[in-house]
Chains A and B, each alone.
Chain A
Amino acid sequence: MGEILEVDRIRCDGHGICAELLPELISLDDWGYPIVKKGPVPDHLVELARRAVDDCPVLALQLSLQNRDRSR
């Protein structure tokens, strides 16, 4: 268990604020769109991750519990 960072790809406009706040987990591709490191957010980064979620200007980033139904 743990929380993971998820990007709503349709909402995301590539502002890149998340990568500035959380370079440990988020990098940007050549066009400025986020590439999120796989796996749960480590405890010591959860606070920063929450800030990245709150600061996304288009609300495209969210933290969610990992064991979602992924049957499809």
Chain B
Amino acid sequence: MELIGPIAESLASHRQRLGPLLALASGELIAELESSGLLGRGGAGFPVGRKWRTVAQRSSGHAVVLANGAEGEPLSHKDRSLMAARPHLVIDGALLAARTVGADDIIFYIGMEHRAADAAMRHALAERPADVRGRARILTAPPGYVSGEESAAVHFVNAGDARPTTTPPRPFDRGVGGRPTLVQNVESLALAALIARRGRDWYVDRGRRGGVGLTTVSGAVNHPGVHEIAYGSTLGDLAAAAGGLRGDSQAVLLGGYFGGWAEVDAQWGLPMDPGSMRARGLAIGCGVVHFLAPDSCGVEATARIVAYLASQSARQCGPCVFGLSAIAAATQRLATRSPHAGDLDRIVRWTGQLAGRGACHHPDGAVVLLRSAMQQFADDFTEHQRRRCLTVSSPRRVAVA
């Protein structure tokens, strides 16, 4: 396993396992990252090489690297697992990014609740020489879904307030201390450090369709947890790696709370790489794969997620404060089969108005999730408006050996 393991790796065993980090010329490494096809692993999937190039063009040696390990997504555990097991690989990635984009300040932004990750990163940083320690610091990200949003992370470093800000300026133009700032997910940094050592061909060949990555599998599987996958492997392979499905799961949430629902049977052979997923209107996002339990109602599961997202609004923008919470309340009424007349139509109308109307993409993510739910569970949404539920009213499915 490249990115996860049972214990925090020491500097000695990290170096023994991977060898030294060679100093590539800045332009060379950026080209290598671009042609590797590495996409950001924090959720949005922006090309890593292009992001580094953008900051490098603006930096004049005084940029900032903000390694994002806030991981506020409730179903995701991969970033904290990575930092807890491979802290030196994350540090390598951040040092490499700093050298490449021209940064003299490195911040590791780690979620408050990720205790093992925080301890491993602090210990690992203390093992590094003084010139590294002098340029790097660890900051604790406050809990909350939006704390890891890039403008929120920058805002926290600048003003102690982990709420998103109006953009532009984007962090790559004016971020920490007004300097160009590379905000990059910790797994993306770790993968960049592996590509720098082994070349782009390793990353592309390894998964046949472009790369490896971490996923967090949860829900109706026998062994939920963080799994490292080659992107060529399928949803079925991933379920098998997690000990197989518990019962006859019908629907799977892919990509996290900003991701989408999909049908398990139809997507069983889906290769878990960004390109194949995008071709089917899906996204790997932050790598969350959550199988809905067979006796669970999709409308109810969706209502829970939307209620959570509404509760996590930074409460700065009207459409998110009022619109998203109204959508959440209406979805909740549907889920409990006690809707007001017209609730379903109202949800559709409000959802159509919400996208793009927040300072950050929090409401947009909720829109993507709701749209996919209303497609995947279309019949059940309609039934719920009639105060019935397909899952509860249908006879229990019996597992056949």
Contact = CB atoms under 8 A, between A and B. Distances in A.
Interface of A: 7-14, 29-33, 35, 68-69, 71-72
B46 A9 contact: no
A36 B46 CA distance: 27
Closest 7 CB pairs of A and B: A9-B317, A33-B318, A31-B322, A10-B316, A9-B359, A10-B359, A14-B318
Contacts of A31: 318-319, 322-323, 326
A33 B323 CA distance: 10
Contact of B319 (A9, A11, A13, A72): A9
A33 B357 contact: yes
Interface string B313-351: 000111110110010000000000000000000000010
B323 A35 contact: no
B170 A12 contact: no
21 contacts: A7-B357, A8-B166, A9-B318, A9-B319, A9-B358, A9-B359, A10-B316, A12-B317, A13-B318, A29-B322, A29-B353, A30-B350, A31-B319, A31-B322, A31-B323, A33-B318, A35-B353, A68-B168, A72-B46, A72-B51, A72-B170
Given A9-B166, A10-B166, A35-B353, A29 B319 contact: yes
B65 to A, nearest CB: 16
A72 B317 contact: no
A37 to B, nearest CB: 12
B50 interface: yes
B249 interface: no
Contacts of B357: 7, 9, 33, 35
Nearest to B46: A72
A71 B170 CA distance: 10
Nearest to B170: A72
Contacts of B353: 29, 35
Contacts of A9: 166, 316-320, 357-359
B311 interface: no
B343 to A, nearest CB: 14
A7 B320 CA distance: 14
Nearest to B44: A72
A8 B167 CA distance: 9
Contacts of A72: 46, 51, 54, 170, 172
Q: Which of B54, B318, B320 has the most CB of A within 10 A?
A: B318
A7 B167 CA distance: 11
A61 B317 CA distance: 14
Contacts of A69: 168, 170
Contacts of A71: 50, 54
Q: Which of B51, B54, B317, B326 has the most CB of A within 10 A?
A: B317
Contacts of A68: 168
A59 to B, nearest CB: 12
A72 B165 CA distance: 15
A7 B166 CA distance: 10
A9 to B, nearest CB: 4
A8 B379 CA distance: 38
